[in-house]
Amino acid sequence: MSTTLSIRRPDDWHLHLRDGAMLEGVLPETARHFARAIIMPNLVPPVVTGDDAAAYRDRIMAALPEGMSFEPLMTLYLTEATDPADVAAAHAAGLIHAVKLYPAGATTNSASGVRDLARVTPVLEKMAEIGLPLCIHGEVTSPEVDIFDREQVFLETVLDPLRRRIPDLKVTLEHITTSQGIDYVAGASGDIAGTITTHHLMINRNHILVGGIRPHYYCLPVAKRSTHQQALRKAAISGNPRFFLGTDSAPHTDPNKESACGCAGVFSATNTLSCLAHVFEEEGALDKLEGFASLFGPARYGLPPNDVRITLEKRDTPVAYPPKVETGAGPVTLFDPGHPLHWHVLD
Protein backbone atom coordinates (compact mmCIF):
# COMPACT_ATOMS: atom_id res chain seq x y z
CA MET A 1 0.00 0.00 0.00
CA SER A 2 1.34 3.43 -0.91
CA THR A 3 2.45 5.60 1.99
CA THR A 4 1.35 8.81 0.26
CA LEU A 5 -1.97 9.88 -1.20
CA SER A 6 -2.64 12.99 -3.30
CA ILE A 7 -6.21 14.31 -3.56
CA ARG A 8 -7.85 17.54 -4.58
CA ARG A 9 -8.29 19.87 -1.66
CA PRO A 10 -11.50 18.77 0.07
CA ASP A 11 -14.62 20.68 1.09
CA ASP A 12 -16.87 20.25 4.12
CA TRP A 13 -20.57 20.13 3.22
CA HIS A 14 -21.87 20.53 6.78
CA LEU A 15 -19.99 22.76 9.21
CA HIS A 16 -20.72 24.74 12.37
CA LEU A 17 -18.49 27.76 12.96
CA ARG A 18 -20.61 29.54 15.61
CA ASP A 19 -19.85 33.25 16.04
CA GLY A 20 -17.72 35.74 17.93
CA ALA A 21 -14.77 34.37 19.90
CA MET A 22 -15.69 30.77 19.09
CA LEU A 23 -15.71 31.53 15.36
CA GLU A 24 -12.30 33.13 15.60
CA GLY A 25 -10.94 30.13 17.46
CA VAL A 26 -12.25 27.30 15.29
CA LEU A 27 -12.27 28.79 11.78
CA PRO A 28 -8.50 28.23 11.25
CA GLU A 29 -8.97 24.54 12.08
CA THR A 30 -11.23 24.12 9.04
CA ALA A 31 -9.47 26.56 6.73
CA ARG A 32 -6.16 24.76 7.20
CA HIS A 33 -7.34 21.78 5.13
CA PHE A 34 -10.70 22.65 3.55
CA ALA A 35 -11.28 25.06 0.69
CA ARG A 36 -15.02 25.58 1.18
CA ALA A 37 -17.78 24.62 3.57
CA ILE A 38 -21.55 24.76 3.80
CA ILE A 39 -22.04 26.92 6.89
CA MET A 40 -24.84 26.04 9.29
CA PRO A 41 -27.18 28.92 10.17
CA ASN A 42 -28.26 27.92 13.69
CA LEU A 43 -26.79 30.89 15.50
CA VAL A 44 -28.60 32.76 18.26
CA PRO A 45 -30.48 34.48 16.71
CA PRO A 46 -30.48 32.29 13.58
CA VAL A 47 -29.50 33.33 10.05
CA VAL A 48 -32.96 33.64 8.49
CA THR A 49 -32.70 36.30 5.78
CA GLY A 50 -30.37 37.18 2.96
CA ASP A 51 -29.15 40.19 4.92
CA ASP A 52 -28.39 37.93 7.89
CA ALA A 53 -26.38 35.60 5.65
CA ALA A 54 -24.40 38.47 4.13
CA ALA A 55 -23.54 39.84 7.56
CA TYR A 56 -22.51 36.41 8.85
CA ARG A 57 -20.35 35.79 5.79
CA ASP A 58 -18.61 39.11 6.41
CA ARG A 59 -17.90 38.13 10.03
CA ILE A 60 -16.45 34.81 8.90
CA MET A 61 -14.15 36.45 6.37
CA ALA A 62 -13.08 39.04 8.93
CA ALA A 63 -12.09 36.20 11.29
CA LEU A 64 -10.04 34.34 8.67
CA PRO A 65 -6.34 34.62 9.50
CA GLU A 66 -4.15 36.36 6.98
CA GLY A 67 -2.65 33.97 4.46
CA MET A 68 -5.45 31.41 4.70
CA SER A 69 -7.81 30.70 1.82
CA PHE A 70 -11.40 29.66 2.56
CA GLU A 71 -14.83 30.24 1.04
CA PRO A 72 -17.91 30.04 3.29
CA LEU A 73 -20.98 28.78 1.44
CA MET A 74 -23.89 30.35 3.24
CA THR A 75 -27.28 28.88 4.11
CA LEU A 76 -30.55 30.18 5.54
CA TYR A 77 -32.39 28.78 8.53
CA LEU A 78 -35.92 27.78 7.48
CA THR A 79 -38.67 29.10 9.72
CA GLU A 80 -42.43 29.21 9.32
CA ALA A 81 -42.06 32.94 8.58
CA THR A 82 -39.40 32.58 5.86
CA ASP A 83 -40.18 34.71 2.80
CA PRO A 84 -39.87 32.78 -0.49
CA ALA A 85 -38.97 36.00 -2.33
CA ASP A 86 -36.08 36.70 0.04
CA VAL A 87 -34.78 33.16 -0.41
CA ALA A 88 -34.98 33.45 -4.19
CA ALA A 89 -33.25 36.83 -4.19
CA ALA A 90 -30.41 35.59 -1.98
CA HIS A 91 -29.94 32.59 -4.26
CA ALA A 92 -30.02 34.70 -7.42
CA ALA A 93 -27.34 36.96 -5.95
CA GLY A 94 -25.07 33.96 -5.35
CA LEU A 95 -25.23 34.59 -1.61
CA ILE A 96 -26.74 31.31 -0.43
CA HIS A 97 -26.21 27.74 -1.57
CA ALA A 98 -28.90 25.96 0.47
CA VAL A 99 -31.66 26.34 3.04
CA LYS A 100 -31.55 24.30 6.25
CA LEU A 101 -34.56 22.53 7.73
CA TYR A 102 -34.38 21.90 11.45
CA PRO A 103 -37.42 20.21 12.95
CA ALA A 104 -38.12 22.39 15.99
CA GLY A 105 -36.29 21.03 19.02
CA ALA A 106 -34.23 18.45 17.11
CA THR A 107 -30.75 19.71 18.03
CA THR A 108 -28.66 22.69 19.14
CA ASN A 109 -30.37 26.06 18.60
CA SER A 110 -33.30 24.53 16.73
CA ALA A 111 -36.11 26.11 18.73
CA SER A 112 -36.93 28.42 15.82
CA GLY A 113 -37.24 25.47 13.43
CA VAL A 114 -40.25 24.10 11.63
CA ARG A 115 -43.18 22.53 13.49
CA ASP A 116 -45.65 22.31 10.59
CA LEU A 117 -44.24 21.61 7.13
CA ALA A 118 -47.45 22.82 5.52
CA ARG A 119 -46.53 26.34 6.60
CA VAL A 120 -43.27 26.30 4.63
CA THR A 121 -44.67 24.70 1.47
CA PRO A 122 -44.48 27.98 -0.52
CA VAL A 123 -40.76 28.28 0.30
CA LEU A 124 -40.07 24.67 -0.63
CA GLU A 125 -41.97 25.01 -3.89
CA LYS A 126 -39.96 28.12 -4.76
CA MET A 127 -36.73 26.27 -3.94
CA ALA A 128 -37.75 23.39 -6.22
CA GLU A 129 -38.46 25.90 -8.97
CA ILE A 130 -35.04 27.58 -8.74
CA GLY A 131 -33.01 24.45 -7.95
CA LEU A 132 -31.93 25.51 -4.46
CA PRO A 133 -31.07 22.52 -2.22
CA LEU A 134 -32.82 21.83 1.06
CA CYS A 135 -30.44 20.48 3.71
CA ILE A 136 -32.33 18.43 6.27
CA HIS A 137 -31.70 17.41 9.85
CA GLY A 138 -33.63 14.19 9.49
CA GLU A 139 -35.14 13.37 12.86
CA VAL A 140 -38.62 13.53 14.31
CA THR A 141 -38.94 15.16 17.72
CA SER A 142 -42.04 13.42 19.08
CA PRO A 143 -41.28 12.43 22.68
CA GLU A 144 -42.84 8.99 22.24
CA VAL A 145 -40.27 8.06 19.55
CA ASP A 146 -37.07 6.51 20.91
CA ILE A 147 -34.02 8.64 20.21
CA PHE A 148 -32.37 5.78 18.33
CA ASP A 149 -35.38 5.48 16.00
CA ARG A 150 -35.94 9.14 15.18
CA GLU A 151 -34.07 9.12 11.87
CA GLN A 152 -35.87 6.03 10.58
CA VAL A 153 -39.28 7.42 11.57
CA PHE A 154 -38.44 10.73 9.89
CA LEU A 155 -37.74 8.95 6.62
CA GLU A 156 -41.08 7.20 6.69
CA THR A 157 -43.36 9.90 8.07
CA VAL A 158 -41.78 13.20 6.95
CA LEU A 159 -39.17 12.94 4.22
CA ASP A 160 -40.80 10.48 1.87
CA PRO A 161 -44.20 12.21 1.95
CA LEU A 162 -42.49 15.60 1.45
CA ARG A 163 -40.58 14.39 -1.60
CA ARG A 164 -43.75 12.89 -3.06
CA ARG A 165 -45.56 16.23 -2.66
CA ILE A 166 -42.69 18.26 -4.15
CA PRO A 167 -40.82 15.77 -6.38
CA ASP A 168 -38.53 18.38 -7.93
CA LEU A 169 -37.14 19.51 -4.56
CA LYS A 170 -33.39 18.96 -4.33
CA VAL A 171 -32.71 17.33 -0.94
CA THR A 172 -29.55 16.64 1.03
CA LEU A 173 -30.19 14.37 4.00
CA GLU A 174 -27.45 15.42 6.38
CA HIS A 175 -25.39 13.36 8.83
CA ILE A 176 -27.00 10.02 8.01
CA THR A 177 -26.62 7.61 10.94
CA THR A 178 -28.68 4.54 10.00
CA SER A 179 -28.65 1.78 7.42
CA GLN A 180 -32.22 2.79 6.62
CA GLY A 181 -31.04 6.30 5.78
CA ILE A 182 -28.33 4.91 3.53
CA ASP A 183 -30.76 2.59 1.79
CA TYR A 184 -33.29 5.38 1.31
CA VAL A 185 -30.82 7.77 -0.32
CA ALA A 186 -29.20 5.05 -2.44
CA GLY A 187 -32.49 3.69 -3.70
CA ALA A 188 -34.72 6.74 -4.01
CA SER A 189 -35.69 8.22 -7.32
CA GLY A 190 -35.29 11.94 -7.84
CA ASP A 191 -32.74 14.47 -6.69
CA ILE A 192 -31.46 13.35 -3.30
CA ALA A 193 -28.05 12.92 -1.70
CA GLY A 194 -26.67 12.43 1.79
CA THR A 195 -23.73 13.52 3.90
CA ILE A 196 -21.81 11.32 6.31
CA THR A 197 -19.76 12.64 9.22
CA THR A 198 -16.25 11.72 10.25
CA HIS A 199 -17.23 10.63 13.73
CA HIS A 200 -20.14 8.42 12.67
CA LEU A 201 -17.68 6.45 10.54
CA MET A 202 -15.49 5.88 13.59
CA ILE A 203 -17.79 5.42 16.58
CA ASN A 204 -21.04 3.70 17.49
CA ARG A 205 -23.21 3.98 20.57
CA ASN A 206 -20.93 1.68 22.59
CA HIS A 207 -18.24 4.35 22.43
CA ILE A 208 -20.60 6.80 24.14
CA LEU A 209 -21.95 4.53 26.86
CA VAL A 210 -19.72 1.53 27.61
CA GLY A 211 -17.43 2.02 30.60
CA GLY A 212 -18.90 5.41 31.46
CA ILE A 213 -20.60 8.25 29.65
CA ARG A 214 -18.27 10.07 27.27
CA PRO A 215 -19.84 13.46 26.61
CA HIS A 216 -17.49 14.42 23.79
CA TYR A 217 -18.94 11.58 21.68
CA TYR A 218 -22.50 12.75 22.25
CA CYS A 219 -24.04 14.26 19.13
CA LEU A 220 -27.39 14.54 17.37
CA PRO A 221 -28.33 12.44 15.58
CA VAL A 222 -26.82 10.16 18.20
CA ALA A 223 -24.48 7.38 17.07
CA LYS A 224 -26.29 4.09 16.52
CA ARG A 225 -25.42 0.37 16.61
CA SER A 226 -22.23 -0.94 15.03
CA THR A 227 -24.30 -2.46 12.21
CA HIS A 228 -25.37 1.05 11.21
CA GLN A 229 -21.77 2.25 11.48
CA GLN A 230 -20.73 -0.47 9.05
CA ALA A 231 -23.49 0.60 6.63
CA LEU A 232 -22.14 4.16 6.73
CA ARG A 233 -18.63 2.93 6.01
CA LYS A 234 -19.86 0.84 3.09
CA ALA A 235 -21.66 3.85 1.62
CA ALA A 236 -18.69 6.18 2.11
CA ILE A 237 -16.31 3.89 0.24
CA SER A 238 -18.84 2.84 -2.40
CA GLY A 239 -18.00 5.49 -4.96
CA ASN A 240 -21.71 6.37 -5.12
CA PRO A 241 -21.75 10.15 -5.77
CA ARG A 242 -24.89 10.52 -3.67
CA PHE A 243 -22.74 10.16 -0.54
CA PHE A 244 -20.08 12.68 0.44
CA LEU A 245 -18.41 14.31 3.43
CA GLY A 246 -20.20 16.66 5.78
CA THR A 247 -18.29 16.63 9.07
CA ASP A 248 -20.98 18.31 11.19
CA SER A 249 -18.01 19.54 13.21
CA ALA A 250 -19.80 21.37 16.01
CA PRO A 251 -17.74 23.07 18.70
CA HIS A 252 -18.94 23.54 22.26
CA THR A 253 -16.78 24.62 25.16
CA ASP A 254 -15.83 21.89 27.59
CA PRO A 255 -18.02 23.24 30.44
CA ASN A 256 -21.02 23.09 28.10
CA LYS A 257 -20.20 19.51 27.09
CA GLU A 258 -19.20 18.23 30.53
CA SER A 259 -22.32 19.23 32.43
CA ALA A 260 -25.49 17.70 33.85
CA CYS A 261 -27.19 18.47 30.51
CA GLY A 262 -24.30 18.45 28.05
CA CYS A 263 -24.60 19.93 24.58
CA ALA A 264 -24.73 17.72 21.50
CA GLY A 265 -21.86 18.07 19.07
CA VAL A 266 -18.49 16.60 18.08
CA PHE A 267 -15.63 18.87 17.06
CA SER A 268 -13.59 17.15 14.33
CA ALA A 269 -12.37 19.90 12.01
CA THR A 270 -8.74 19.58 13.04
CA ASN A 271 -8.17 15.87 12.46
CA THR A 272 -10.89 14.86 9.98
CA LEU A 273 -8.56 14.11 7.07
CA SER A 274 -6.31 11.89 9.17
CA CYS A 275 -9.40 10.11 10.49
CA LEU A 276 -10.84 9.60 7.03
CA ALA A 277 -7.59 8.24 5.62
CA HIS A 278 -7.48 5.80 8.54
CA VAL A 279 -11.05 4.62 7.86
CA PHE A 280 -10.62 4.31 4.10
CA GLU A 281 -7.34 2.44 4.55
CA GLU A 282 -9.01 0.05 7.01
CA GLU A 283 -11.67 -0.59 4.39
CA GLY A 284 -9.10 -1.11 1.61
CA ALA A 285 -10.49 1.87 -0.28
CA LEU A 286 -7.98 4.72 -0.21
CA ASP A 287 -8.64 5.22 -3.91
CA LYS A 288 -12.23 6.20 -3.03
CA LEU A 289 -11.33 8.95 -0.55
CA GLU A 290 -10.95 11.73 -3.12
CA GLY A 291 -14.44 11.18 -4.48
CA PHE A 292 -16.02 11.20 -1.03
CA ALA A 293 -14.09 14.20 0.32
CA SER A 294 -13.31 16.29 -2.76
CA LEU A 295 -15.43 15.50 -5.82
CA PHE A 296 -18.99 14.41 -5.10
CA GLY A 297 -19.93 17.39 -2.92
CA PRO A 298 -18.94 20.06 -5.45
CA ALA A 299 -20.79 18.18 -8.19
CA ARG A 300 -23.88 18.08 -5.99
CA TYR A 301 -23.82 21.83 -5.39
CA GLY A 302 -22.95 22.78 -8.97
CA LEU A 303 -19.41 23.89 -8.20
CA PRO A 304 -16.09 22.84 -9.75
CA PRO A 305 -13.72 20.70 -7.70
CA ASN A 306 -10.76 22.51 -6.24
CA ASP A 307 -7.68 22.75 -8.45
CA VAL A 308 -5.22 22.71 -5.56
CA ARG A 309 -4.12 19.30 -4.36
CA ILE A 310 -3.05 18.16 -0.92
CA THR A 311 -0.92 15.19 0.06
CA LEU A 312 -1.43 12.79 2.93
CA GLU A 313 1.51 10.70 4.09
CA LYS A 314 1.41 7.68 6.36
CA ARG A 315 4.24 7.65 8.88
CA ASP A 316 5.32 5.38 11.70
CA THR A 317 5.04 8.33 14.08
CA PRO A 318 1.43 9.31 14.81
CA VAL A 319 0.17 12.84 14.27
CA ALA A 320 0.49 14.93 17.43
CA TYR A 321 -2.94 16.55 17.43
CA PRO A 322 -3.71 18.68 20.48
CA PRO A 323 -6.41 17.27 22.76
CA LYS A 324 -8.10 20.66 22.87
CA VAL A 325 -8.35 23.81 20.80
CA GLU A 326 -8.18 26.94 22.90
CA THR A 327 -10.63 29.67 21.88
CA GLY A 328 -11.61 32.99 23.34
CA ALA A 329 -14.90 31.37 24.35
CA GLY A 330 -13.14 28.54 26.19
CA PRO A 331 -11.44 25.20 25.46
CA VAL A 332 -12.99 22.85 22.89
CA THR A 333 -12.08 19.16 23.03
CA LEU A 334 -11.05 17.60 19.73
CA PHE A 335 -12.68 14.37 18.56
CA ASP A 336 -10.69 11.41 19.87
CA PRO A 337 -10.81 8.45 17.47
CA GLY A 338 -9.61 6.15 20.25
CA HIS A 339 -6.32 5.21 18.62
CA PRO A 340 -3.29 6.93 17.06
CA LEU A 341 -3.63 8.50 13.62
CA HIS A 342 -0.68 7.92 11.31
CA TRP A 343 -1.85 9.82 8.22
CA HIS A 344 -0.27 13.28 8.20
CA VAL A 345 -1.56 16.12 6.04
CA LEU A 346 1.46 17.76 4.47
CA ASP A 347 1.70 21.54 4.21
- How does pLDDT run along the chain (347 residues), one tens digit per residue? 459 999 999 999 999 999 999 999 999 999 999 999 999 999 999 999 999 999 999 999 999 999 999 999 999 999 999 999 999 999 999 999 999 999 887 777 677 789 999 999 999 999 999 999 999 999 999 999 999 999 999 999 999 999 999 999 999 999 999 999 999 999 999 999 999 999 999 999 999 999 999 999 999 999 999 999 999 999 999 999 999 999 999 999 999 999 999 999 999 999 999 999 999 999 999 999 999 999 999 999 999 999 999 999 999 999 999 999 999 999 999 999 999 999 999 97
Residue 113 is predicted with a pLDDT of 86
Contact 234, 290 (CB under 8 A): no
Contact 124, 91 (CB under 8 A): no
Contact 300, 192 (CB under 8 A): no
Q: What is d(CA 285, CA 236) in angstroms, rounded to the nearest whole number?
A: 10
The CATH number assigned to the domain with range 4-345 reads 3.20.20.140
How many degrees, rounded to 5, is the angle at CA 122 between CA 120 and CA 124? Answer: 70
Residue 273 is predicted with a pLDDT of 98
Known catalytic residue: 248? yes
Q: What DSSP character marks residue 306?
A: P
- The residue from 248, 307, 316, 347 that is catalytic is 248
Q: What DSSP character marks residue 242?
A: T
Nearest to 16 by CA among 62, 60, 64: 60
